[in-house]
Amino acid sequence: MARSAYVTDLKTLQGECTANYLRLTRLLGDIAPGETREVELVSGGRRLGSLCLKVLERAPYTSIIQVTQQGVIDSVIDTPCMRVHLYHDVRMAEVTDFQRQRHFHGRYRYPNARMHQPDEKLQLNRFLGEWLDHGLAHGHSMDLPELP
């Protein structure tokens, strides 16, 4: 039986990028380039770590944000690190770097040398969305009003 090639689902990818833009702007507020917003992650009264959002660059139409997490398991595993481009004119946020890997394609042949999934770019943007949702749901920041 012949396998069909993976076709990029642009509608889903764009929807995820739009939702991530809204999540990030809600968490960031109006901080200046070089500043970091730390969102303490708490569940059941226990501190789980903090979601760190650092504005690396800001221009009229784009911003670059570094998203990392610090916590109790830092010595056991590499902490996730993403670079996200915010496109203010179209209100979208896209993961451009993850764990020091850059420039992800919309689709990959599988298998491939780096073992990327066929929909790697979509999966990275979904992961960012889940990560930010967790920060919005369980996060507390001293310099922001309480997040719902």
Taking only the tens place, the pLDDT of each residue in 14-40 is 999 999 999 999 999 889 999 999 998
Identify the sign of the CA torsion 128, 43, 75, 53. positive
User: Full-prediction pTM beyond 0.75?
Assistant: yes
Does the pLDDT at position 89 exceed 70? yes
pLDDT of residue 7: 63
pLDDT of residue 46: 81
Spatial strand order of the sheet with 101-102 comes to 101-102, 92-98, 81-87, 62-71, 46-58, 36-43, 139-140
List beta partners, residue 36: 54
pLDDT tens, residue by residue, 102-141: 666 555 566 656 655 657 788 889 989 998 998 898 887 6
From CA 138, how far away is CA 106, in angstroms rounded? 31
Does the pLDDT at position 66 exceed 50? yes
Q: How is the chain split into domains, by residue range? A: 27-137
Q: Taking all residues of the chain, what is their mean pLDDT, rounded to a whole number?
A: 81
Instruction: Name which of 35-39, 69-73, 81-85, 88-92 the model is least confident about.
Output: 69-73
Task: Label residue 95 by pLDDT band (50, 70, 90).
Answer: very high
**Which DSSP symbol is given to 144?**
S
pLDDT of residue 102: 66
**Which DSSP symbol is given to 6?**
P
- How big is the chain, counted in residues? 148
pLDDT of residue 77: 66
pLDDT of residue 141: 65
Instruction: Give the CA diameter of the chain.
Output: 58
